[in-house]
Structure 1
Amino acid sequence: MNVLNITDQLPLVCETPLDLHFLAINAQEAAAAFIAAGTAANTVRSYRSALAYWSAWLQLRYGQALGAAALPSTVAVQFVVDHLARPTDDGGWVHLLPPTIDAALVAARVKAKLGPLAYNTVSHRLAVLGKWHRINGWDSPTEAPALKTLLREARKALSRQGVSVRKKTAIALEPLQALLATCTDGVRGVRDRALLLTAWSGGGRRRSEVVGLQVCDVRRLNADTWLYALGTTKTDTGGLRREKPLRGPAAQALAAWLEVAPAESGPLFRRLYKGGKVGTQGLSADQVARIVQRRAQLAGLDGDWAAHSLRSGFVTEAGRQGVPLGEVMAMTEHRSVTTVMGYFQAGSLLSSQASQLLGPAVGATTSAEKI
């Protein structure tokens, strides 16, 4: 496929001035479609920035508004070659986004800096565009075979050049234990220990799900078991309450937190103030990520840590311990087997006999201990 000849349906203009007021309204209207479809609020916030970028790029590149009609697949292909850098024969890298448009996107504050975007960022923005088309009842341009081939080849090219598609480091059992060992700093440590164990042991909860938990969502069955209820989540927008178990250390940690921070209602995990005073306001999703990162730093762990590390780590550890995939997905509520399998298989292979045909080296540290 010659990616330089892909604009046969819409001409490139590259000279359209960017109307920031129109950009904001256009992106907001697009985000409203997700809200009307019942998409979780935290997800809509993530999608809104992607839609703002699409709106700005379309104005500048094609002189076209987002939402006027379904976009052809050639536009999605152009988006990829504009934003993904590819290696050249002379050892350099090139992408097709004109410098004037790049600068305008940065000036409009929809792009952080000049230059190409990461593969994960491009993939996310294409996914948002595809979902937005489906919500509007249009054929998605992201389903075109040419686009999927281009993305596959782009990923291979990046891999051959030593550029990996970044994933957050999974918090399997050993890193989790290291994080928990830092939770000795009074009330803050009690809260963080309960939060980490609830999110991890409770099925690898997303950060939006953690901060959305209310005191009334948890109930104690016995000294070793609590149940917590999920309502609306990223993949289940029906609002039907589903209870998940917290057993052993997770149940004990939650009991300890509610003992030092008793409440009849309100957010389960709340902000702390000077002197360890517990407030009434709940944590934000970003604060959950910062708690993970802070504890990893205190534990001296190398890696790219985030709130998602708890979710991927739960699945990885379940694979290591041979938990059936169906039981894992019942806890995590993943809808897509493809999404969960990467982490699950990585964990299961660590305990596979096929990886130990030569036997462990004397005095060696196993791969599982390094996760």
Structure 2
Amino acid sequence: MRLPSLRKTPALQPTELTDVTQRAVEDLLREGESQNTLTSYRGALRYWAAWYGMRYGGQIGLPLPTACVLQFIVDHAERTTAKGLVSELPSEIDQALVRAGYKGRLGAMTHNTLVHRIAVLSKAHQLRELKNPCHDPKVRELLSRTRKAYAKRGALPQKKDALTQDPLQALLVTCDDSPRGIRDRALLLFAWASGGRRRSEVAGADMQFLKRIPDGFSYTLAFSKTNQSGADQPENTKPVLGPAADALEAWLQTSGITSGAIFRRVRKGGHVGEALSPAAVRDIVKMRCALAGVEGDFSAHSLRSGFVTEAGRQKVPLAETMAMTGHHSVATVLGYFRTEATLSSAAARLLK
């Protein structure tokens, strides 16, 4: 086959990327990443740069040597000594990082935060095709032993409390018939009843994916944490029925929303504004918990864990629960309501 000769478009080199192509690749990688992930990556990389600058007195550059990563771990992980729990980050640097806003509080990081910081650094090396110090056997072994040390001390991750049916009802009582109250009632019920939607999924809920059906609504979750490729799957469609459908209908009627974001800011005078942010969803949950006097450590994720926990209490088949939540891991789902199931188990009451 004879190809036409092109005068204006120069031939590319198959072994090299042009600057334009490289920027296009980076744009696609960035666009395909969730906003929450991008935000957390940027924060982690900013922290690495600040820590490196204060610890070594220079500007960070990749690839980092293995010794630098090992230093980062011992600076931020607590270990048991005769003096108690200590870490190696000098107090002066720790205070400077907090004052500058790179750290939220003084002291060692949680284990989850430390692992996340290392994972982000590893990703940065991987994307640049650089020798990765995070894959060094010394780093892997130290991280493994650190995790075991934390587990032996009982320093386990603290999960948010679950908003099961009863505390959820208490939150709904605080939602009056003002535009903001109508919105919050619809938001809480939509998030909970459609399978415990994540705060990013609630903030990103759009009218184009909402469909009226005889019993209420169906919502197509086109993109989620567990379906980032947008694969067309039967479980993408989430029913919004009963009280949740009634509350959503009331919000749509009150707000006059027919296109775009479903859940939006309500300004003074009841005027509907722009779409809510994921952080605003978290703030609504916390504010309603405070108004209801519900005690516990609750956040937006409490709606998700509450749905799964309530499903376990009511003996909903695991497959049905997972179809609603979108979980792919049985172990993850069981982790939400295994404690509840154990407390109600006949095996826990052998001594009557």
Bin the TM-score by the shorter chain: 0.7 to 0.9
Report if aligned partners of 1:272, 1:279 keep a CA contact under 8 Å in 2: yes
Give the Å deviation of 1:288: 0.8
Residue 36 (structure 1) aligned to one of 26, 30, 35: 30
Report if aligned partners of 2:255, 2:272 keep a CA contact under 8 Å in 1: no
Give the Å deviation of 1:63: 6.5
* One-letter amino acid of the counterpart of residue 222, structure 2: G
Give the Å deviation of 1:281: 0.8
- Aligned residue number for residue 80 of structure 1: 73
Distance 1:130 1:116, change over 3 A: same
Report if aligned partners of 1:316, 1:348 keep a CA contact under 8 Å in 2: no
The CA distance in 1 between the partners of 2:327 and 2:340, in whole Å, is: 17
The CA distance in 2 between the partners of 1:45 and 1:196, in whole Å, is: 25
- Aligned residue number for residue 236 of structure 1: 227
Residue 218 (structure 1) aligned to one of 207, 210, 216: 210
- Aligned residue number for residue 53 of structure 1: 47
Report if aligned partners of 2:63, 2:125 keep a CA contact under 8 Å in 1: no
Report if aligned partners of 1:217, 1:228 keep a CA contact under 8 Å in 2: yes
- Aligned residue number for residue 19 of structure 1: none
The CA distance in 2 between the partners of 1:96 and 1:115, in whole Å, is: 10
**Structure 1 stretch 46-55 or stretch 62-71: which is displaced more?**
62-71
Identify unmatched segments of 5+ residues in structure 1.
Answer: 1-28, 360-371
Report if aligned partners of 2:311, 2:321 keep a CA contact under 8 Å in 1: yes
Residue 257 (structure 1) aligned to one of 246, 251, 256: 251
Match status 1:326 vs 2:322 = no
Give the Å deviation of 1:35: 4.3
Give the Å deviation of 1:320: 2.2
Report if aligned partners of 1:205, 1:332 keep a CA contact under 8 Å in 2: yes
Distance 1:186 1:358, change over 3 A: farther
The CA distance in 2 between the partners of 1:134 and 1:122, in whole Å, is: 19
Give the Å deviation of 1:233: 2.5
* One-letter amino acid of the counterpart of residue 264, structure 1: T
Residue 305 (structure 1) aligned to one of 293, 298, 301: 298
Report if aligned partners of 1:215, 1:268 keep a CA contact under 8 Å in 2: yes
- For each residue in 1:25-82, what CA deviation from the matched residue of structure 2 results, as whole angstroms up to 9, or x when unmatched? xxxx9xx69943721112211221112112322344457866623764x655543321
- For each residue in 1:277-312, what CA deviation from the matched residue of structure 2 results, as whole angstroms up to 9, or x when unmatched? 141311111111111011111111111111111112
Report if aligned partners of 1:270, 1:278 keep a CA contact under 8 Å in 2: no
Residue 172 (structure 1) aligned to one of 164, 182, 185: 164
Residue 121 (structure 1) aligned to one of 109, 113, 122: 113
Identity of aligned residues (%): 47
Report if aligned partners of 1:267, 1:282 keep a CA contact under 8 Å in 2: yes
The structure that has the greater radius of gyration is: 2
**Structure 1 stretch 312-321 or stretch 134-143: which is displaced more?**
134-143
The CA distance in 1 between the partners of 2:27 and 2:144, in whole Å, is: 25
Report if aligned partners of 2:62, 2:125 keep a CA contact under 8 Å in 1: no
* One-letter amino acid of the counterpart of residue 236, structure 1: N
Report if aligned partners of 2:267, 2:273 keep a CA contact under 8 Å in 1: no
Distance 1:290 1:107, change over 3 A: closer
The CA distance in 1 between the partners of 2:203 and 2:323, in whole Å, is: 21
Give the Å deviation of 1:326: 3.4
- Secondary structure of the corresponding residue to residue 327 of structure 1: helix
Report if aligned partners of 2:150, 2:156 keep a CA contact under 8 Å in 1: no
Report if aligned partners of 1:83, 1:122 keep a CA contact under 8 Å in 2: yes
Match status 1:355 vs 2:348 = yes
- Secondary structure of the corresponding residue to residue 266 of structure 2: strand
The CA distance in 2 between the partners of 1:96 and 1:145, in whole Å, is: 19
Report if aligned partners of 1:318, 1:347 keep a CA contact under 8 Å in 2: no
RMSD between superposed Cα atoms in Å = 3.0
Give the Å deviation of 1:209: 0.8
Distance 1:87 1:328, change over 3 A: same
The CA distance in 1 between the partners of 2:88 and 2:227, in whole Å, is: 39
- For each residue in 1:184-237, what CA deviation from the matched residue of structure 2 results, as whole angstroms up to 9, or x when unmatched? 252222211110111111111111110101122211111x33111222333322
Distance 1:51 1:340, change over 3 A: farther
Match status 1:294 vs 2:290 = no
The CA distance in 2 between the partners of 1:356 and 1:99, in whole Å, is: 51
- For each residue in 1:2-45, what CA deviation from the matched residue of structure 2 results, as whole angstroms up to 9, or x when unmatched? xxxxxxxxxxxxxxxxxxxxxxxxxxx9xx69943721112211
Report if aligned partners of 1:202, 1:245 keep a CA contact under 8 Å in 2: yes
The CA distance in 1 between the partners of 2:340 and 2:27, in whole Å, is: 38
- Aligned residue number for residue 95 of structure 1: 87
Distance 1:99 1:232, change over 3 A: same
Distance 1:125 1:220, change over 3 A: same
Match status 1:193 vs 2:188 = no
Residue 149 (structure 1) aligned to one of 127, 140, 145: 145
- Secondary structure of the corresponding residue to residue 220 of structure 1: strand
* One-letter amino acid of the counterpart of residue 192, structure 1: D
TM-score, normalization: structure 1? 0.76
